[in-house]
């Protein structure tokens, strides 16, 4: 079985994948993230992800796991000039979570065009933080605390498997392990959030989802959107209109593990009823046990 890729192979794979989507890629675009996290990449989980539609065209996200041995990824990004320091609560959230919760691994979402976008924290598979305690962390968006009773009532109080902090949009994704959650509960959550009923194709996709994550911000108590993710080797299962970019990406995206390509497909739903669709492809799978939570929870991290 092929081993973890070296940095030269990682760069070549990013460049090759960017060409599939006509995303301009050069050493100058990637050198900042390679300088900051290059020591991690040869042994990391690496995922390439894209979103369908004109609004998202022209970007490729390069996501990877980070072991918890060193500084958290936001601190590393600050230290390496990948992002500017902010007084917004989004800038202190990851450190506060780290001080209160066990972390199995971290992750980074880095856009070839957009740069450092997001930090992930993945919790140990046997030690998910209790929702009420988690929502009480000082820098959490107030909207999460406002939904604790609802989520607890649906039996989701012990399902927080990961978080994604988006520093470009000042939002928080709260990932809920959904593989063992009944479809009726998932649909009830949609209704309780005030989202319209999905059509039959999307409802079937939701039934199969292994992860779901509402997105919160600091300016509203409402849920901004909710995303459902499915692991698959058949990206044609994505309940989306035909998109030639998705088809090309799915057919030709590189990978360095044995067997066929593995994907995570996702649908992101908004309260308005609008949806957009995303596809993430595993490029490399880490062998280190500290990344187990990343592997179990990884989806494409909705923007």
- For residue 24, tell me if it sits in a domain: yes
Residues paired with residue 211 on neighbouring β-strands, in sequence order: 177, 229
- For residue 120, tell me if it sits in a domain: yes
- For residue 119, tell me if it sits in a domain: yes
Other CB atoms within a 10 A radius of the CB of residue 3 amount to 11
CA 140 to each of CA 38, 52, 166, 214, 215: distance values in angstroms, whole numbers, following the listed order: 30, 30, 13, 14, 12
- DSSP letter string, 116-140: EEEEEEE--TT-PPPHHHHHTSTTS
Strands in 187-262 per DSSP E: 211-217, 225-232
- Quick one: pLDDT at residue 53? 79
For residues 206 and 109, what is the distance between their CA atoms, to the nearest angstrom? 24
Domain span at residue 139? 7-297
- Quick one: pLDDT at residue 2? 47
- For residue 158, tell me if it sits in a domain: yes
- Quick one: pLDDT at residue 300? 40
Helical (H) or strand (E) element with 171? strand 171-177
SS3 call for 65: strand
Q: Please report how the helices 183-192 and 200-208 are oriented relative to each other, as an axis angle in degrees rounded to 10.
A: 120
- For residue 303, tell me if it sits in a domain: no
Count the domains in the chain.
1
- For residue 302, tell me if it sits in a domain: no
- Tens of pLDDT along the chain (303 residues)? 345 568 999 999 999 999 999 999 999 999 999 999 999 998 899 999 999 877 888 999 999 999 998 789 999 999 999 999 999 999 999 999 999 999 999 999 999 999 999 999 999 999 999 999 999 999 999 999 999 999 999 999 999 999 999 999 999 999 999 988 999 999 999 999 999 999 999 999 999 999 999 999 999 999 999 999 999 999 888 887 778 899 999 999 999 999 999 999 999 999 999 999 999 999 999 866 444 455 555 544 434
- For residue 1, tell me if it sits in a domain: no
């Amino acid at each position: 079985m092929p081993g973890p890729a070296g940095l030269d192979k990682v760069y070549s794979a990013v460049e090759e994948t960017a060409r599939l989507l006509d995303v301009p890629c050069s050493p100058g675009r990637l050198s900042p993230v390679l300088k900051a996290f290059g020591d991690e990449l040869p042994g990391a989980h690496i995922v390439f992800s894209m979103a369908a539609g004109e609004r998202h065209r022209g970007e490729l996200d390069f996501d990877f796991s980070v072991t918890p041995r060193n500084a958290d990824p936001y601190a590393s990004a600050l230290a390496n000039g990948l992002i500017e320091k902010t007084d917004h609560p989004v800038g202190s959230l990851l450190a506060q979570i780290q001080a209160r919760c066990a972390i199995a691994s971290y992750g980074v979402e880095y856009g070839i065009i957009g740069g450092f976008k997001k930090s992930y924290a993945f919790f140990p598979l046997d030690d998910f933080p209790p929702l009420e305690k988690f929502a009480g962390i000082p820098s959490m968006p107030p909207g999460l605390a406002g939904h604790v009773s609802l989520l607890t009532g649906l039996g989701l109080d012990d399902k927080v498997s990961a978080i994604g902090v988006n520093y470009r949009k000042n939002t928080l994704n709260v990932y809920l392990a959904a593989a063992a959650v009944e479809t009726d509960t998932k649909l009830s959550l949609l209704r309780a959030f005030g989202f319209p009923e999905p059509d039959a194709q999307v409802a079937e996709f939701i039934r199969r989802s292994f992860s779901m994550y509402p997105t919160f911000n600091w300016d509203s108590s409402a849920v901004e959107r909710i995303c459902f993710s499915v692991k698959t080797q058949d990206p044609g299962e994505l309940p989306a209109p035909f998109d030639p970019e998705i088809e090309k990406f799915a057919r030709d995206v590189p990978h360095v593990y044995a067997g066929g390509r593995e994907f995570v497909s996702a649908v992101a739903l908004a309260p308005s009823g609008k949806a957009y669709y995303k596809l993430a492809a595993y490029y490399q799978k880490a062998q280190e046990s500290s990344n187990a939570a990343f592997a179990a929870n990884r989806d494409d991290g909705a923007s």
